[in-house]
A and B are shown apart, each in its own frame.
Chain A
Amino acid sequence: KQEVTQIPAALSVPEGENLVLNCSFTDSAIYNLQWFRQDPGKGLTSLLLIQSSQREQTSGRLNASLDKSSGRSTLYIAASQPGDSATYLCARDLDQTGANNLFFGTGTRLTVIP
Chain B
Amino acid sequence: NAGVTQTPKFQVLKTGQSMTLQCAQDMNHEYMSWYRQDPGMGLRLIHYSVGAGITDQGEVPNGYNVSRSTTEDFPLRLLSAAPSQTSVYFCASSWSRGTGELFFGEGSRLTVL
A106 touches B45 (CB 8 A): no
Task: Give residues in B with beta carbon < 8 Å to A.
Answer: 4, 31, 33, 35, 40-45, 48, 50, 56, 58-59, 90, 92, 94, 96-107
Give every chain A residue within 8 A of B101 (Cβ-Cβ): 46, 49
Tell me, in angstroms, the Cα distance from A100 to B104 when the chains sit together: 13
- In the complex, the answer to whether A94 meets B59 with C-beta atoms within 8 Å is yes
What is the number of residues of chain A that contact chain B, defined by CB distance less than 8 Å? 27
Q: Which residues of A contact B58 (CB under 8 A)?
A: 94, 101
A residues less than 8 Å from B50 (CB atoms):
99
- Do residues A102 and B105 form an inter-chain contact, with CB atoms below 8 A? no
Contact with A94, one of B45, B98, B103 (Cβ below 8 angstroms): B45
The interface of chain A, by Cβ under 8 A from chain B, is 4, 31-32, 34, 36, 41-46, 49, 51, 89, 91, 94, 97-107
The answer to whether B104 touches A102, judged by C-beta atoms less than 8 angstroms apart, is: no
State whether A44 touches B33 (Cβ < 8 A): no
Given contacts A44-B92, A46-B102, A94-B45, 19 further A-B contacts (CB under 8 A): A4-B42, A36-B102, A43-B4, A46-B101, A49-B99, A51-B99, A94-B58, A97-B56, A99-B48, A99-B56, A99-B97, A100-B31, A100-B33, A100-B97, A101-B58, A102-B102, A103-B45, A104-B44, A105-B42
State which of B33, B35, B48, B107 has its C-beta within 8 Å of the C-beta of A42: B107
CB pair A102–B90 under 8 Å, yes or no, is no
> Which residues of B have CB within 8 Å of A42?
106-107
Closest B residue by C-beta to A4: B42
Chain B, Cβ-Cβ closest to A104: B42
A103 to B105, CA, bound (A): 18
Taking CB atoms, residues of chain B closer than 8 Å to A102 are: 43, 45, 102
Give the shortest distance, in Å, between A6 (CB) and chain B (any CB).
Answer: 9
Residues of chain A within 8 A (CB-CB) of B98 are 31, 98-100
B11 CB to nearest A CB, Å: 15
For A98, the chain B residues whose CB sits under 8 A away are: 97-98
